């Protein structure tokens, strides 16, 4: 039995959108926004080589396990069950949430206002805002133990979200740089359209087509929870698994509102498909 996606009759982008829709993800809900993978690991070369496997992110591993050292730390966290955690898990933050979506799209309305409202009425400190594709990748894949974010579909078709066309005043970073357009990798030549074109080409490349099913298993499939998720270093706080938390059976309104607040602030695992 062979499916249209396996026969390359539909694009990787279309297949991921189909899976997101099937799993209940929607553009209409920031808390369950469509989630797409980081596909590249090269944000420093002058020319992007899509025939080199080292150009790509390891799609068989979640963002928390992209480096050996980072993976070791998250496994250690899982085994120790830190005292401030109420449950055993690898990650206390999520790969997709309302604030992640709004931060990526903050240069466009209505996301600018959404971001500000989620931040309590103002922009975040400039250094913490989305300002560079390379530094965001380094944070999510290597440097920041609180950051395991993935991407959103716009990274593969919408150059406008990378420019500050509305001239919002986001402030200055610590090194004095005024925060404006998103800093792009050298291979994009400072051109958002070229970045989107090459990024989409990477998504549809032979390498990604051959490995994308591993990432789908992590996000939408059998490695999403249970023993397979533990083995894949892919477990999240129990509150993120919305369909596993029966709110109707929770009588205490304080606990119920805490869980709902947790989900709305930090994200939700897609329905398993």
pLDDT score at 120: 87
CA 96 to CA 36: how far, in whole Å? 9
Q: What residues does each domain of the chain span?
A: 1-44+51-266
Alpha-carbon distances of 123 from 106, 120, 128, rounded to whole Å: 9, 9, 10
Query: What's the mean pLDDT in 227-243?
Result: 89
State whether residue 120 is helix, strand or coil.
coil
Quick check: 224 and 236 in contact, CB under 8 A? no
Render pLDDT for 43-76 as a digit per residue (tens, 0 to 9). 999 999 999 999 999 999 999 999 999 999 999 9
Fold for the domain defined by 1-44+51-266: Neurobeachin; Chain: A, domain 1 (1.10.1540)
Residue 261 C-alpha from the chain's centroid: 20
Tell whether the model's pLDDT for residue 159 goes beyond 50. yes
pTM of the model: 0.91
pLDDT score at 204: 97
Closest CA to 186 of 138, 132, 149, 143: 132
Torsion-angle region of 120 (φ positive above 0: left; ψ -120 to 50: alpha; else: beta): left
User: Between helices 206-219 and 12-22, what is the axis angle to 10°?
Assistant: 10
CA 247 to CA 56: how far, in whole Å? 40
Mean pLDDT is lowest, of 78-92, 167-181, 250-264, for 250-264
Query: What's the mean pLDDT in 250-259?
Result: 74
State whether residue 36 is helix, strand or coil.
strand
**How many other CB atoms are there within 10 angstroms of residue 146's CB atom?**
9
Contacts of 86 (CB under 8 A, 6+ apart): none
CA 72 to CA 67: how far, in whole Å? 9
Render pLDDT for 184-212 as a digit per residue (tens, 0 to 9). 999 999 999 999 999 999 999 999 999 99
CA 139 to CA 145: how far, in whole Å? 8
Phi first, then psi: give them for residue 106, nearest 5 degrees: -60, -20
Q: Would you state the structure tokens that stand for residue 113, as one six-digit string?
A: 């206002």
Render pLDDT for 87-103 as a digit per residue (tens, 0 to 9). 789 998 999 999 999 99
């Amino acid at each position: 039995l062979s499916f249209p996606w396996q026969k390359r009759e539909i694009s990787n982008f279309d297949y991921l959108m189909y899976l997101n829709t099937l799993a209940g993800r929607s553009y209409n809900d920031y808390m369950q926004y469509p989630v797409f993978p980081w596909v590249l690991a090269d944000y420093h070369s002058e020319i992007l080589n899509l025939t080199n496997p080292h150009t790509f992110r390891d799609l068989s591993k979640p963002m928390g396990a992209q480096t050996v050292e980072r993976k070791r730390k998250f496994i250690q966290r899982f085994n120790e069950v830190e005292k401030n955690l109420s449950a055993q898990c690898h990650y206390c933050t999520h790969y997709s949430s309302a604030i992640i979506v709004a931060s990526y799209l903050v240069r466009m309305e209505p996301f600018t206002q959404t971001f500000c409202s989620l931040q309590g009425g103002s922009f975040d400190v400039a250094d913490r805002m989305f300002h560079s594709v390379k530094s965001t990748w380094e944070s999510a894949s290597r440097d920041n133990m609180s950051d395991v974010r993935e991407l959103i579909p716009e990274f593969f078709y919408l150059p406008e979200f990378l420019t500050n066309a509305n001239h919002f005043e986001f402030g200055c970073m610590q090194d004095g740089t005024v925060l404006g357009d998103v800093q792009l990798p050298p291979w994009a030549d400072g051109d958002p359209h070229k970045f989107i074109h090459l990024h989409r080409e990477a998504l549809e490349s032979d390498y990604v087509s051959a490995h994308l099913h591993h990432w789908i298993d992590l996000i939408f499939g059998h490695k999403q929870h249970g023993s397979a998720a533990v083995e894949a270093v892919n477990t999240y706080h129990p509150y993120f698994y919305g369909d596993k938390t029966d709110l109707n059976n929770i009588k205490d309104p304080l606990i119920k509102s805490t869980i709902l607040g947790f989900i709305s602030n930090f994200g939700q695992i897609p329905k398993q498909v």
